Amino acid sequence: MLFLDAVQATDFLTCKAKVMKQLFTILSAMVIMAACKPKAETDQTKVLSAVDSAEFAAFQEWKEQQEAKKNAETKTVYVVQKQAAATTSNSTTTATRKKWSNATKGAVIGGVGGAIVGGVVSKRNRAAGAVIGGIVGGGAGYGIGKTIDNKQNNQ
C-alpha cells in the first residue's frame, strides 16, 4: 500500500486542492471581517483630543501674535526713479539667443540615441549599457556635427 495507483493519486490531489481552496476562502473572509471591525473609542483618546485642540488653539493665538508683530515692523521702501536725458530714443533692443552649433546638436542627439540603444542592447546591466552608449553616441555625434560645422565655415 505504499504506492498508490494513478487514479487514487489524482483523486487524492483533487480532493486536497478542493480542501485548500475552501480553507483559503474561509481564512480570507475572516481576515476581511477582522480588518473591517471598528475600534472602540477609549477615554484616553477623548482626553488626547481635548489636549490636542487646546494646543492647537494656543498655536493659533501664537501665530496671530507673530503676524501682528510682523505687520507692525514692516518697513516702507521708497523707490527713486531717475529720469533719462531729454533726448530719448525709441529703439528697442531684443536679445537674440545664440543658436546651437551642429557639433552641440550632434553630441546631444548622439548621446541620447546612444543611451537608448545601449540600455536596450545591454542585457546584464542596462544602466551601464546606457552610460557607455551615451558616451559613445555623444562622441560620434560631436564628431559628425563638427565636420558639418567645418564644411559650412569653409564655404
Which residues make Cβ contacts (< 8 Å) with residue 117, sequence separation at least 6?
133, 137
Q: Which has more confidence, 50 or 86? A: 50
How is 9-49 classified by DSSP, letter by letter?
Answer: HHHHHHHHHHHHHHHHHHHHHHHHHHHTPPPPPPHHHHHHH
Can you give the pLDDT at residue 86? Answer: 53
**Whole-angstrom Cα distance, residue 54 to residue 113?**
61
Query: Does the predicted model carry a pTM greater than 0.75?
Result: no
Residue pLDDT, tens place only, 80-119: 666 655 555 555 666 777 888 889 999 999 999 999 998 8
The C-alpha cell at 17 is 486542492
Is there a contact between 94 and 132 (Cβ–Cβ < 8 Å)?
A: no
Which residues make Cβ contacts (< 8 Å) with residue 47, sequence separation at least 6?
none
* Whether pLDDT at 48 is above 50: yes
Share of the chain above pLDDT 90, in %: 21
